[in-house]
Amino acid sequence: MIGNSWRILAYGPNGEKFEFYSPEYDKKNKAMCERLKLPVKDNVPLAPDTVLDELCIDNWFHIEQMDHNAWWMQVGDACINVIIKEDGTTDVSVERDVYDTNK
């Protein structure tokens, strides 16, 4: 099933690392919740005061914050870089045929 394998990485205000995985990695999720003493509601960990750093879905989508104003993405075979300038506008570059998603 597409989207069945995913990972989310976020950081708390003091640099604590929060990593959560799709259900096939349930043991990792439980260990992370226990280590961070995170509450869980309806099998969903609650990670307060976090900032998204990274999201991966299967081998075709990956977004990661590289700096406070820079994001890198893989979408299929494309590499996308986004820079948010001080005035709020963006510079976006897209390169195709960069990644092999048939692995």
Domain residue ranges in the chain = 1-58, 59-103
The Cα–Cα gap between 78 and 94 comes to 7
Q: How confident is the model at residue 52 (pLDDT cuts 50, 70, 90)?
A: confident
**42's tokens:** 């309806």
The Cα–Cα gap between 51 and 62 comes to 16
Of all helices (H) and strands (E), which one includes residue 16? none
Per-residue exposure over 80-89, b if at least 16 CB sit within 10 Å of its own CB, e if not: bebeeeeeee
State how far Cα 71 lies from the chain centre.
Answer: 11
Per-residue model confidence as pLDDT tens digits over 53-94: 899 888 899 999 999 899 999 999 999 999 999 998 999 999
The Cα–Cα gap between 12 and 27 comes to 22
Per-residue model confidence as pLDDT tens digits over 37-51: 766 666 555 566 667
Please indicate, yes or no, whether the overall pTM of this predicted structure exceeds 0.85.
no
